[in-house]
Amino acid sequence: MTGERTEVVVIGGGAIGLSIAFELAGRGRRVTLLERGEPGAEASAVAAGMLAPTSESEGNAASLLNFQLDSLCRYPEFTAAVSELSGLGCGYRSEGTLWVARHRDDELELEHLAALQRERGLTSRMVTAREARRLEPYVVPRAVGGLLVDGDHQIDPRRLLPALALAVEHRGVDLRRRTRVSGVFPEAGGVRIAYDTPGESGELRADIAVIAAGVWSEDGIDTPAPPLGLRPVKGQLLRLRGEPIIQRVVRTPDVYLVPRSDGELIVGASEEEQGFDAQPTAGAVFDLLRDAWEVLPGIYDLHLDEISVGFRPAVRDHLPVIGPAGAPGVFLATGHYRNGILLAPATAYWLAEAIEGGETPPLLAQLQASRLAGAG
């Protein structure tokens, strides 16, 4: 169809795109969301869903940490609204994280991490081996201690994404599946978006276009945005199943284990610069199982349900790109790397503020595309 018009077109139906559409529709905007496949079927569906700015604060720029903390605070209200509209649970849990020191080297690393967290005003505390095993009785008996982070939470992306897709439609979003965008063209009075579906090609005209297609934000789409240098970072994680053996996220410096309420246990995750190679590898599976078994020997008896492979969208500094794209009416929300699920509520809220207010909010000031000049 040609000549259709809407207020906002969101390109990409992962956690970021769906959240943006949800937020803007909640503010009364008429939104059309274009997804190249099925909503939430790419990187978002593979993510472990840890909402852990404190645990993952080491090495993060202050701008990213502040954004992570803001987004974590938004999660309870965000998931409540999604669940109310969709009638589906999102798998939100708040039991925290237990880091386990398997030996003295791990313990020294966790002491260093705890010190860095204190310097940043974050809350965690070292625990004894006895307390670690009291908190999680199946932790390896030879553990020498641990670090408890009560402020970490988690979400189940495979529950959140279907609920979010249903919720956006309940808010009136025109959600179009299997629709590939080929171009975003600013023109007088707005933006023209060219797209292809299995049956036809067409164009949409809108006041605003938001490019939020993850690692595909520069893949075959002609846009006025500056080159971002987006690349896929391959990640493999394992899905085990059986009787629950932990109640909270358990981590070491080498691996994390995330329990679900239905008996699933996530073990992750590898990080590989392999382009779009979606094949699981024996080496990654071996490393993940070995590292997990060293801290939680009980995984030996669990069933291996699935090896999941996804592509994290990364730019060179591993910070997201959120804000104006440098052309009237065009905005970016991509490059979230390992933080797409965590940052979805804050990305949606603050990008909507930028669109509505016409100015860049302070939390987005250091996340602009302009910092990547010459990245391509």
| In the chain, domain spans | 4-87+157-230+316-372, 97-152+231-314
Give the HSE-up count for residue 105: Cα atoms under 13 Å, Cβ half-sphere: 2
User: Distance of CA 29 to CAs 33, 81, 153, Å?
Assistant: 12, 17, 31
pLDDT in tens, 109-121: 999 999 999 999 9
Strand partners, 240: 265, 304
* Band of residue 59 on the pLDDT scale cut at 50, 70, 90: confident
Q: What predicted TM-score, i.e. pTM, was given to this entire model?
A: 0.95
Give the HSE-up count for residue 295: Cα atoms under 13 Å, Cβ half-sphere: 29
> Tokens 């990547």 label which residue?
372
Answer yes or no: is pLDDT of 180 > 90.
yes
Q: Looking at residues 27-47, what average pLDDT do you find?
A: 93
Percent of the chain with pLDDT over 70: 98
Q: Looking at residues 66-80, what average pLDDT do you find?
A: 98
Per CATH, 4-87+157-230+316-372 and 97-152+231-314 having the same topology is answered: no
Most confident region among 199-203, 218-222, 333-337, 356-360 by mean pLDDT? 333-337
CA 176/CA 348 separation, integer angstroms? 19
CATH topology of domain 97-152+231-314: D-Amino Acid Oxidase; Chain A, domain 2 (3.30.9)
Answer yes or no: is pLDDT of 1 > 70.
no
pLDDT value of position 2: 53
Q: Looking at residues 154-178, what average pLDDT do you find?
A: 97
CATH topology of domain 4-87+157-230+316-372: FAD/NAD(P)-binding domain (3.50.50)
CA 77/CA 86 separation, integer angstroms? 14
What value does the mean pLDDT of the chain take? 95
SS3 84: helix
CA 200/CA 153 separation, integer angstroms? 43
Answer yes or no: is pLDDT of 185 > 50.
yes
